[in-house]
């Protein structure tokens, strides 16, 4: 299998979303406490194993989906999968904003980021960005 970079905007959009997802995963794997701080979270001193959730759950998911989507960026089902993952991440954040008193600037900014990443993946698949 030969790796090649995208040629068209319809391929670049999900490729960029996959690259950002992979970078988020690398950050969560290599610097989990920095990611926790960026997300305004902290671990309890009595539970240092909580960092494993960042390395395992966040980093593992972001790296796994990001790398596979980078390698197969031109596959519509992978674009839909990554787009749906970011869309539902945003939906969960919106639910928190509405029901958990989470209407902070950081949450709104992250919701916008989630929506942009979802749109980058879903726009080509749904026909909003022409191929070629």
- How far is it, in rounded angstroms, from Cα 58 to Cα 83? 16
> In whole angstroms, what is the distance from residue 24 CA to residue 36 CA?
12
pLDDT at 39: 86
pTM here is 0.91
pLDDT one-digit tens code per residue, 7-61:
998 999 999 999 999 999 999 999 999 999 988 888 888 888 888 989 999 999 9
pLDDT band at 1 (very low <50, low <70, confident <90, very high): low
Are 63 and 25 in contact, with CB atoms under 8 Å apart? yes
> Dihedral of the CA atoms 69, 17, 80, 85 (nearest 10)?
100
């Amino acid at each position: 299998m030969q790796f090649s970079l995208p040629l068209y905007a319809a391929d670049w959009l999900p490729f960029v979303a996959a690259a950002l997802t992979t970078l988020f995963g690398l950050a969560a794997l290599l610097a989990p406490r920095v990611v926790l701080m960026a997300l305004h979270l902290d671990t309890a001193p009595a539970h240092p194993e909580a960092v494993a959730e960042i390395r395992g759950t966040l980093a593992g998911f972001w790296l796994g989906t990001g790398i596979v989507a980078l390698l197969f960026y031109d596959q519509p089902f992978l674009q839909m999968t990554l787009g749906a993952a970011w869309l539902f991440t945003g939906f969960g954040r919106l639910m928190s904003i509405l029901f958990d008193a989470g209407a902070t600037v950081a949450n709104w900014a992250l919701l916008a980021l989630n929506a942009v990443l979802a749109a980058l993946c879903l726009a080509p698949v749904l026909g909003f960005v022409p191929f070629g």
